[in-house]
Amino acid sequence: MILSDNYIIEQEKIRKFVDEEIIPLAEYHDREEKLHPKIISEMKEQGYLGCVIPNEYNGLGMDQISLAILNEEIGRGCSSTRSMLTVHGMVSLAILKWGTIAQKETWLPKLAIGELIGAFALTEPNVGSDAKNIETKAVEEWDSFVISGKKKWITLGQIADLFLVFAQVDGKPSAFLVERDSLGVSVKPMSGLLGARASMIAEITFEDVRIPKENIIGKVGTGLSHIALTCLDYGRYTIALGCVGLGQACLENSVNYSRERIQFGAPLHKNQLIKKMITEMTVNLKAARLLCYNAGHLKEIGDPDSIMETWSAKYFASRAVIKIASDAVQIHGANGCSNQYPVERYYRDAKINEIIEGTTQIHELLISADTIRTV
C-alpha cells in the first residue's frame, strides 16, 4: 500500500517522536518494569491517548490508517509504551460505540487528554480464552450494581483510573465502568514477565464494589457479544501493527549490525546465509504490514469482512515477528543474548503477541472455521 503525502508527513512526525522520546527510555522500561512518567506525560501531550476519540470530545479522531501508522511506529520504539494505545483505546472505544450520551460526555474528554487512564478488565485467574465463563459477578441492588470477583493480567492495571470490568449478571456477561478509588477495589502489581515488562500488569480484586446503575455499558447480557467484540477487534488490530513495528525494529538493528560487524575479513552482511535471513525478515514484514493495512482499509469503509481480516493480520504478524526477532538474535550472535543490545528485548517482547488478544491457537480455530464456511 502506498501512503498519501499526508500520511507520510504524519508518519515522519511520529517516527521523530519515537526516536527522540521513546527509544531512549525503552531499556529503562524493560529494566524497571514500569513506564517512565515522562513517557506517559509525553503521550498525553501528543494527544495519542485520544487517538480513537473524536474531536468533539477533545480526541484526535484518527482514521484506521493513521491508527496503523501510530501503532507501528510506537511499537517500533517500545512494546510496553504501545500497549497503552491498545487498552486505553479499548475502554474509550467501548464508551464511544456503546455508551450513553451522558457516559460519553462524562468520560471521553478525560480519557482523550489522559486525565484518566483506562484499563480493560476481562481476563481472570481461571478464565482466559473462554471469556463467556467469567466468574466475576454483578448483583443488581436498587439503584446500584455490586461487583465481586478477581481479574488478572490487566495491562496498565497498576496505574489505571478507570476499569472496563466484565461480570455476570444472572449468568449474562455484562460490562461496567468501575473507578479505581471505588470502595472495595484493590490492585496487586505483577512483575517478572517474559516481555513487554513495563505494561504495568496487575491483578484487580473487587470486594462488594458498589457502582451506580448508570455505569453499565450497553445492556445486561451484551458484555461479550457487543462491547468485548468491539474492543477486542480494535485490540487485535493495534497489536498486529505493534508486531509490524517490532519487526521493523529487528530488521533495522540487524541490517545496521551486519554492516558494522566484521567476520572473516568482511562485513557480516556479505555472508549469503545472513542475506537469506535479512531477505526473509524483509518479506515477512512486508506481508504482515499489507495484511494489517488491508484490514484497516476494510474497517475504514465499514466492510464486515474487516473482522476476519483483522484475525488474519494479527495471526500472521504475531507469528512472523517471532521468526524475525529470532533471526535478529541469530544475526547478532552472542551479542544478541545480551541486554546490551535491544534485540534481546525484542525477542522476549515478540512472544507476548502470540498470547494477548487471542492466542495463536484460538486464531487458527476461528480462521479455519470461517474458511470452511465460506469456501
Catalytic residue among 10, 72, 309, 357: 357
Q: Which of 147, 143, 204, 134 is nearest to 173 (CA)?
A: 134
133 CB contacts (<8 Å, ≥6 apart)?
127
How far is C-alpha 182 from the chain's CA centre? Answer: 26
Q: Do domains 118-219 and 224-370 have the same CATH topology?
A: no
C-beta of residue 280 within 8 angstroms of C-beta of residue 109: no
The predicted structure's pLDDT at residue 1: 65
pLDDT of residue 3: 86
For the chain, what are the domain ranges? 5-112, 118-219, 224-370
Query: Residue 20 is which amino acid?
Result: E
- The model's pTM is 0.95
Catalytic, 135? Answer no
Q: What local confidence, expressed as pLDDT, does residue 2 receive?
A: 75
Per DSSP, what are the bridge partners of residue 76?
Answer: none
Per-residue model confidence as pLDDT tens for the chain (375 residues):
678 999 999 999 999 999 999 999 999 999 999 999 999 999 999 999 999 999 999 999 999 999 999 999 999 999 999 999 999 999 999 999 999 999 999 999 999 999 999 999 999 999 988 888 999 999 999 999 999 999 999 999 999 999 999 999 999 999 999 999 999 999 999 999 999 999 999 999 999 999 999 999 999 999 999 999 999 999 999 999 999 999 999 999 999 999 999 889 899 999 999 999 999 999 999 999 999 999 999 999 999 999 999 999 999 999 999 999 999 999 999 999 999 999 999 999 999 999 998 899 999 999 999 999 998
The hierarchical CATH code for the domain 5-112 is 1.10.540.10
Query: Fold for domain 118-219?
Result: Butyryl-CoA Dehydrogenase, subunit A; domain 2 (2.40.110)
Residues 6+ apart with CB under 8 A from 151: 121, 122, 123, 124, 136, 157, 163, 165, 203, 204, 205, 206
**In the prediction, which pLDDT does 130 show?**
83
* Rg for the chain, CA atoms, rounded: 21
DSSP reduced 3-state for 230 = helix
Cβ burial of 28 (10 Å; 0-12, 13-18, 19+) is: middle
Identity at 187, one-letter amino acid code: V
Which CATH number does 224-370 carry?
1.20.140.10
pLDDT at residue 214 in the model: 96
Predicted pLDDT at 129: 83
Contact, 205 vs 147, CB < 8 A?
A: no
Copy the grid coordinates of residue 317.
504478524
